[in-house]
Structure 1
């Protein structure tokens, strides 16, 4: 090789090595979100509340946007960290290794991404992790330590949030993303990796042209946690509903009943009618265009929530309902109501059915009713506990009549505030009563469906420890664990499952729902005939 060619080769090679590594705008902002959140909960000076941390983000964002390479960006972050003060050695941090952790959610591997950070910055972040804050966190806390949910504190309200400021939009989104990153027990179960959700959300926020666009971007991010507890609100709306209860059956929205039967007699709509459109917007269109905005842990809970959204309104107006019955399409205008205003007198909380079979509506039974209920049903052949509703905290007392010894029915994971992102196993409580010599000895049958959510699923798990028990119905909502409410600022609120609930054998309930022994789903024809096919199957099993 000639000297000239050798010189040219070496020059090109040197230029290739020395050329600063480019990084996209979205990747720069995503790395900022991660570092900002990490320092918020890990850096001793930041986690102790020494800085206005929201303002720190707003000040660093312009610098980040101006960085033209990985090297320049890492230098900005290193200077930022240097200005936060000393990170003293942490002797207590080594003791965390003695904990039994559930670590499916924990991942700080992004420290070492060579496409985003220099090795110097990666080493600095690792050093902060190894010498992380140990003390009373300034921005999060556990209101009830025996439960374990983590709540926000010391977060600005931003009553007059300027949504048109792109940096403020990012601030709200980063705040939520990092809460999920470090304190959501079911992050590992999401369909889409949480890292890619961040990238998608940043792109949507950058192009938001209205407050609704901003809210839609946040809602779509929240939906991606795949949690039926993951509600979202940006205003204090009251909701109004037609006098009908609906249910999706094979992606058809069907009338399954009414809140008030007297009002129903004045309407041409009947049980089993298939709703085709509401105010001329087809149900098919709603499914196609709105599923990305509907939260839920599984298809059962998503379709349940979509059914609510389709028929409700934010004002007491009328709605045009287009429905089909026996091939005939009809239209009717129906009045909307606040549901609590039209509910009739509550029916029996429990009763004895033909064949000496007990039936209990768990959505109506109160703690004060349990003793009387069990006395009346003690000698029945079977008791059917209907949990297709939201129970009123009666599970432990009922279990004391059904379970002749103390039995485990769940265990739990909760966030470790001394090591954010990691979760500690904790044994759950037991149910049952070994001192009860006259416990119920008949069959126990539990009825569940997609309405069975959260405390209802927890109640089901407890009663499933009974002898001779069978669970009948369909997949439940799959949202178990006490709810945490997050106020992100600007009136934007969301909820999230705060702790992780598992069966004693570590079987997951989140997204999957509770264990169902006999699967039964209602049919459109069954609704038209006025039948409760799930209850019918329970009665059949009780008599067999």
Structure 2
């Protein structure tokens, strides 16, 4: 009996002990959440009474020493108490016309198993009596909705100091947590991302390692608008080397679609339709796999499009490229050029100048290149194409804000085509439905032919929004493939070591159908093929022309 009692006491003691222990990652993730919450909610912090970065740097060493849940909770309780009194002002009444969008909003972490009941109650009280003035650290663009930072330190962290690195991770994580409109659509929960990135940030020993960890953090928000640009130090900066053409990934191969440097391409016999299977002995399939946590995209087509730029860029002069030609694998040792982006852009600008802004195709069908036509060209376009039986608006590009005059031309009446969610700075983390955008007017002379819109993964943001606008006319057909899935404006953030951005508002159809990550769904799905590119055919346009003639 004594042995049984002793065994019970040992098991009971071990159970209690294990229940109160807390891991370093658990402590740091919880600290990140509390620090960010207080930054935007506590009246004395949100109005700027404290140097909030210094507060974090001071408490993190104490967090490290806390060994149990009780010690950790008491530490945070005392921290909050030292911030001063929070006056009870509840209830805070929401405006009568406010309609909240709450898929993003979740403060259930107040009940974290690492928190005492007393700490959880303190956090809830602060939420209920949250700051209601002009924020010290964040602001919104009036009538737009996206946010920008204020009074935020943009300095490099000290890469030798664990806590300095964590400050940057915590700052960005909370920025997304409270102000990214599409957080609820991430593949991986944002909490999980935080837990996974903390050890990587701690292990980073230098600038490159740390910003690699940051890149992995940023990539997990799954937003095609999002980029992460680092500013290299002059000591490590090397000129980039480029493949002399652009391409598209199809069937885990990279197909040349456009020559960007004629003489350079001729030197290595590079032609449109050439199929690349390896770069420096790595298959395109392997490159696709190993970059998934480094590139941020809303969906797979946009990820592959972004990846092309990375593949066709090198830090080395000499690059081994394997081609598949006529059923044979041929490896070329190429010298890639250091010609700058400006040269590539000059080529693209030159190519655009050669293209027609609009034209009349066979069988009385109009065609408009939305990437180059401008507002000043619209009256001439309308006059030339108003009597056609169909107009194809090619939007596999980025339009020049020409949506309004064209939509007014094709619409018989005014109609709303988009509604939005915008952050509520009086209740950080919550978003509100706000208004919407309408187009058109009572127009008896509207265009009565078929309206065709061509889209693909290059169709992003304004292109997607413009396509939504054109869909209101009731006789629009979308032909092509999945778009980038990143509509609306962007919020941008600039730091000493990097620049990044994300979608600033949520964009929906008037019936509240989502566009983020999904993009604009084609009525007729058609994708380019390797064979089509090699034969010089535009398969998307060809399919649109078939539909115009047959209705199928």
Maintained 8 Å contact 1:243/1:336 = no
Secondary structure at 1:428 match in 2? strand
Q: Is 2:424 the partner of 1:416?
A: yes
Offset of residue 365 of structure 1: 0.9
Maintained 8 Å contact 2:481/2:521 = no
Q: Equivalences for 1:223-302 in 2 at 5 Å?
A: 223-235=219-231, 241-259=242-260, 267-302=268-303
Could you tell me which residue of structure 2 aligns to residue 388 of structure 1?
396
Could you tell me which residue of structure 2 aligns to residue 433 of structure 1?
441
- Tell me the distance in 2 between the aligned counterparts of 1:33 and 1:111: 13
Could you tell me which residue of structure 2 aligns to residue 26 of structure 1?
25
Maintained 8 Å contact 1:21/1:70 = yes
Report the CA distance shift for 1:56/1:352 in structure 2 as closer, same or farther (over 3 A): same
Could you tell me which residue of structure 1 aligns to residue 326 of structure 2?
326
Report the CA distance shift for 1:365/1:313 in structure 2 as closer, same or farther (over 3 A): farther
Offset of residue 515 of structure 1: 2.0
Report the CA distance shift for 1:6/1:256 in structure 2 as closer, same or farther (over 3 A): closer
State how many pairs are aligned.
537
Maintained 8 Å contact 2:360/2:385 = yes
Could you tell me which residue of structure 1 aligns to residue 527 of structure 2?
521
- Aligned-CA RMSD value: 2.4
* Stretches of structure 1 lacking an aligned partner (at least 5 in a row): none
Secondary structure at 1:104 match in 2? coil
Report the CA distance shift for 1:462/1:334 in structure 2 as closer, same or farther (over 3 A): same
Q: Is 2:50 the partner of 1:43?
A: no
Offset of residue 360 of structure 1: 0.7
Deviations 1:484-535 (A, max 9, x none): 1122x33222110110001111111111111210000111111110000000
Could you tell me which residue of structure 1 aligns to residue 450 of structure 2?
443
Maintained 8 Å contact 2:91/2:128 = no
- Tell me the distance in 2 between the aligned counterparts of 1:255 and 1:203: 40
Secondary structure at 2:226 match in 1? coil
Q: TM-score, normalised by structure 1?
A: 0.93
Secondary structure at 1:134 match in 2? coil
- Tell me the distance in 2 between the aligned counterparts of 1:99 and 1:409: 21
Secondary structure at 2:293 match in 1? helix
- Tell me the distance in 1 between the aligned counterparts of 2:7 and 2:272: 83
Maintained 8 Å contact 2:159/2:204 = no
Offset of residue 437 of structure 1: 3.3
Secondary structure at 2:256 match in 1? strand
Which segment is superposed worse, 494-503 or 277-286? 277-286
- Tell me the distance in 2 between the aligned counterparts of 1:262 and 1:165: 50
Maintained 8 Å contact 1:402/1:467 = no
Maintained 8 Å contact 2:159/2:205 = no
- Tell me the distance in 2 between the aligned counterparts of 1:12 and 1:272: 69
- Tell me the distance in 1 between the aligned counterparts of 2:217 and 2:12: 43
Could you tell me which residue of structure 2 aligns to residue 335 of structure 1?
337
Maintained 8 Å contact 1:270/1:528 = no
Maintained 8 Å contact 1:161/1:490 = no
Report the CA distance shift for 1:184/1:374 in structure 2 as closer, same or farther (over 3 A): same
Could you tell me which residue of structure 1 aligns to residue 153 of structure 2?
156
Q: Is 2:494 the partner of 1:505?
A: no
Could you tell me which residue of structure 1 aligns to residue 128 of structure 2?
130
Could you tell me which residue of structure 2 aligns to residue 142 of structure 1?
140
Q: Is 2:527 the partner of 1:530?
A: no
- Tell me the distance in 2 between the aligned counterparts of 1:380 and 1:511: 35
Offset of residue 262 of structure 1: 7.7
Report the CA distance shift for 1:12/1:259 in structure 2 as closer, same or farther (over 3 A): closer
Could you tell me which residue of structure 2 aligns to residue 543 of structure 1?
549
* Stretches of structure 2 lacking an aligned partner (at least 5 in a row): none
Maintained 8 Å contact 1:357/1:382 = yes
- Tell me the distance in 1 between the aligned counterparts of 2:490 and 2:188: 22
- Tell me the distance in 1 between the aligned counterparts of 2:115 and 2:90: 28
Maintained 8 Å contact 1:455/1:480 = yes
Could you tell me which residue of structure 1 aligns to residue 481 of structure 2?
474
